Structure formats: structure tokens, C-alpha cells
């Protein structure tokens, strides 16, 4: 009896062992099937992410989106939304000064939304002794002329998100200050003159307060008798946090123009009854953002500064209502 039970048990074990062997022979194909299903799921996820990026511009209200004339979300993985290299007359471009010392590219190091932002890095901008270093992303039409683009309207809004990884300081000190005290241009307007040469009109410059060590900003103009416009109340430009800058410009070659700046949805500087463009038979305006100076310090390395830009827009309605500090907290970072 006992031996019979042992035999039965042994038979059960043998059957179980056979079953295990069969399963182990089957498992490679099952495993392959499972892997295929996993791959399909992974591809599906990637596709859905590509189709529906966490894109700040795409999530703005439709009524505002209809007012957008041009945009750069940098999700092409390059700067071609600015330069439109396939066009014969792109109406914009990436303009560099001191090419060996500057970098202009799209990057995944930072993004306000989606995966990419635009990076503008300058190097060797030291004590005004090594010349100007500049990266400028510029537009002067809504699209390439040969794709139906038009010159920018004479009243329009220009906006971008900006990220500073370090609290840079453009201040120049005696005895090596050549007399300008230091300047750092990150946002500017130019216009073409009677000879069709572009001339500086206005720039939004950043500066660092020597006491508080905080960054602030001011408007600077070379084409008005007053040169500098400070914020009416003290403002702080954030570091290591995305902030939103918007400008409204009413183009005027006489002192009847207007320029106003918003920081994170709040109006901080307004200049009324000013010239915003140089004399030209064809009133025009060019917008640029970038990183431009001949001296920068305050970061890890003197002379080196990086700025990231994302979700840059030209629109006939203001983007600032959607960039207030409250909504800033919900900005998507992938």
C-alpha cells in the first residue's frame, strides 16, 4: 500500500515535472509575445506624447490663440521657427556676434513646456576687453515673405518665457569700466532706417542690485532724449525659475509711440509719447530676444552666461493674463 502510494506520488511528481518542462519550453514564445505587447504599449505611449505635448501655447484659450501671428515652442528641436531656413526670405533669423564665443541651439536641459527650449550662451564677455558677444533670435515678419508672411503690425505684443540658471551681473567697476557702467540686453526692438539698415531702438536690460544682490530690469533707448526707464516699483527678476516677459509696442517715428513691459502678468514699465522706430519711408519694427553684452560676471565663470527661452509669441492680444504668478506655478515642466 505504502509503496503504491509512493508510486502514485512519484507519478504525480513526474507529471508535474513534465508539465514544468513543457511550460519552460513554451515560455520563450510566450515571453516574446509579452515583449511584443510591451513594445506596442511603449510605442503607443510615445506616439500619444508626441501628438499631445504638454505645450503651454496649445493650452491657451482659443480666443487668444486666434490672435497669435507667430510662435516658437522650440519643439522642432532646433531654432528653425525663428530662422525658417527653407524659405528664400525668412523674415527672421539667428544673428550672432563673435561666433566662436557663442552658442545658439535648442536644448532639453530646460523647458517651460514640451521638451525643448532655446539656449543662448555667450562666453569670454569679460570687462569689455574682448568685444561684444551676442546671440539674437529675431523676427521682422509674421512668417517667411515667400510663405505669405507680412511685416509686423505697428501695434503688437511680443512675449516669451525666460529662465536664468544663475544670477549674472553685468556691472562694470572702476578702473576698467569704459564709462557705460555695464549693460546686458536680453529683449530688444530694432527698425530699418532710410537706407534699410537695422538700427537699435529699445532694449530691455537686466542688472543686479549691488545691495540686495537681486536682478532687476530697465528699458534703454538710443533714439529718445531720455535714455533709461526704470520700473515704477522695485521688481525682482527670478533666478532658476521661469518668468514671463511681454512687451507692447506702438510704432512711431515721432514722439507718439508707446512701449510697455509686463513681468509675470504685471505691468512694470510704461513709456508713453516716445519714438519706437527710426526714420524710414516704410515704418517697421523688428523684435529680438537673446543674450548680448561685453561683460558678464556673477555665474560660475566670468564672461559666461546662459539664458533659456521658451513659448515665444507675437500676438495682437496680450499673453500676460495667462502668465500671472498664480498660473506660473502650474507651468508644465517635462
* CB closer to Ca ion, 90 vs 114: 114
Q: How close are the terminal C-alpha atoms of the chain, in Å?
A: 71
Q: Which range in 39-47, 148-156, 275-283, 309-317 contacts Ca ion by CB under 5 A? A: 309-317
310 binds Ca ion (CB under 5 A): yes
Cα–Cα dist 254/208, whole Å:
32
Q: Which range in 5-13, 105-113, 280-288, 299-307 contacts Ca ion by CB under 5 A? A: 105-113
Contact 219, 203 (CB under 8 A): yes
**What is the number of the residue whose Cβ is closest to Ca ion?**
114
* CB closer to Ca ion, 14 vs 109: 109
Contact 254, 275 (CB under 8 A): yes
* CB closer to Ca ion, 246 vs 310: 310
262 binds Ca ion (CB under 5 A): no
Q: Which of 80, 85, 87, 120 is nearest to 102 (CA)?
A: 120
119 binds Ca ion (CB under 5 A): no
229 binds Ca ion (CB under 5 A): no
Chain Cα centroid distance, residue 312: 6
* CB closer to Ca ion, 42 vs 109: 109
Cα–Cα dist 88/232, whole Å:
44
Cα–Cα dist 259/279, whole Å:
17
Q: How many residues bind Ca ion (CB under 5 A)?
A: 6
**Range 48-87, binding Ca ion (CB under 5 A):** 73-74
Cα–Cα dist 42/32, whole Å:
15
* CB closer to Ca ion, 168 vs 309: 309
Cα–Cα dist 106/75, whole Å:
8
118 binds Ca ion (CB under 5 A): no
* CB closer to Ca ion, 84 vs 111: 111
Q: Which range in 115-123, 157-165, 272-280, 286-294 contacts Ca ion by CB under 5 A? A: 115-123
Cell of 137: 533670435
114 binds Ca ion (CB under 5 A): yes
In whole angstroms, how close is the CB of 114 to Ca ion at the nearest point?
A: 3
Cα–Cα dist 296/186, whole Å:
13
Residues of the shown chain interacting with Ca ion in the complex, contacts defined by CB under 5 A: 73-74, 111, 114, 116, 310
Amino acid at each position: 500500500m505504502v509503496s503504491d502510494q509512493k508510486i502514485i506520488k512519484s507519478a504525480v511528481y513526474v507529471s508535474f515535472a513534465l508539465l514544468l518542462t513543457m511550460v519552460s519550453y513554451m515560455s520563450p514564445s510566450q515571453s516574446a509575445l509579452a515583449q511584443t505587447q510591451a513594445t506596442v504599449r511603449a510605442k503607443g505611449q510615445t506616439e500619444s506624447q508626441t501628438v499631445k505635448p504638454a505645450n503651454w501655447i496649445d493650452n491657451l484659450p482659443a480666443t487668444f490663440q486666434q490672435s497669435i501671428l507667430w510662435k516658437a515652442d522650440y519643439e522642432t528641436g532646433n531654432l528653425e521657427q525663428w530662422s525658417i531656413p527653407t524659405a528664400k526670405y525668412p523674415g527672421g533669423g539667428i544673428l550672432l556676434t563673435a561666433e566662436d564665443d557663442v552658442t545658439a541651439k535648442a536644448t532639453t536641459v530646460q523647458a517651460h513646456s514640451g521638451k525643448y527650449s532655446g539656449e543662448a550662451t555667450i562666453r569670454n564677455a569679460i570687462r569689455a576687453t574682448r568685444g561684444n558677444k551676442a546671440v539674437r533670435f529675431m523676427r521682422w515678419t509674421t512668417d517667411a515673405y515667400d510663405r505669405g508672411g507680412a511685416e509686423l503690425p505697428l501695434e503688437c505684443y511680443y512675449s516669451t518665457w525666460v529662465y536664468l540658471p544663475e544670477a549674472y551681473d553685468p556691472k562694470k567697476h572702476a578702473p576698467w569700466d569704459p564709462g557705460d557702467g555695464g549693460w546686458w540686453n536680453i529683449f530688444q526692438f530694432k527698425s530699418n532706417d532710410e537706407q534699410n539698415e537695422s538700427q537699435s531702438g529699445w532694449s530691455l536690460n537686466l542688472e543686479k542690485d549691488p545691495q540686495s544682490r537681486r536682478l532687476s530690469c530697465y528699458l534703454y533707448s538710443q533714439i529718445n532724449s531720455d535714455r533709461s526707464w526704470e520700473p515704477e516699483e522695485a521688481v525682482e527678476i527670478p533666478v532658476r525659475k521661469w518668468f514671463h516677459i511681454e512687451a507692447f509696442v506702438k510704432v512711431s517715428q515721432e514722439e507718439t509711440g508707446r512701449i510697455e513691459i509686463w513681468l509675470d502678468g504685471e505691468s512694470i514699465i510704461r513709456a508713453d509719447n516716445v519714438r519706437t522706430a527710426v526714420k524710414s519711408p516704410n515704418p517697421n519694427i523688428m523684435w529680438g530676444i537673446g543674450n548680448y553684452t561685453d561683460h558678464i560676471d556673477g555665474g560660475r565663470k566670468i564672461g559666461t552666461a546662459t539664458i533659456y527661452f521658451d513659448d515665444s509669441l507675437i500676438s495682437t492680444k496680450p499673453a500676460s493674463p495667462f502668465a500671472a504668478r498664480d498660473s506660473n506655478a502650474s507651468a508644465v515642466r517635462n
